[in-house]
Amino acid sequence: MTDVASAHPPRRGLLLAVFLVPVLLLAVLWLPRWWENREFQQVQAIAGVGSKIAPGHLTEARGKIDPGLPAEKIVAAIGKPSFSVGTNGKESRHEIWTYYFADGTMVVNLTDGSAVRISMAYGPPRIPKTTRQE
């Protein structure tokens, strides 16, 4: 008498399936959540969620910059923005830099690397907060 188990060794396809099915199941369950979290973090970055308050005061910072000043000189004068967004047009680049200070918010609009418009709003800054419960 021959043993049935020894007569037929396990097939490679079956072993491969036993290994791949849990891996694929894990990917199907994990990948969509990872992708959604990644997109949500990008949206929050664009909205300025969690931006830091810049050191100093709004009026002092405004006195250090004027329209027409290049971006490098703005950064040298008052520091990096709390957050910024930009777009590349066909012939120019537009950016919006937002500075949050303890006493207000300053928004600097730049075109092609130079300040075009500077606006200020006094009062506690309204820094966006996350809406997602983690």
Q: What is the pLDDT of residues 53-70, one digit of tens each?
A: 999 999 999 999 999 999
CA 69 to chain centre: 27
Six token digits for residue 133: 């419960």
Question: What's the pTM?
Answer: 0.72
d(C-alpha 34, C-alpha 134), whole Å: 13
- Please, how many CA atoms are within 13 Å of residue 43, restricted to the half-sphere of its CB? 10
User: Quick one: DSSP state of residue 134?
Assistant: -
Q: Would the pLDDT of 110 be above 60?
A: yes
106-133: average pLDDT: 91
Is residue 118 within 8 Å of residue 58, measured between CB atoms? no
d(C-alpha 128, C-alpha 83), whole Å: 11
In this structure, which amino acid lies at residue 13? G
Work out the pLDDT band at 45, boundaries 50, 70, 90: confident
Q: Would the pLDDT of 43 be above 90?
A: no
Strands 93-101 and 114-122: unpaired
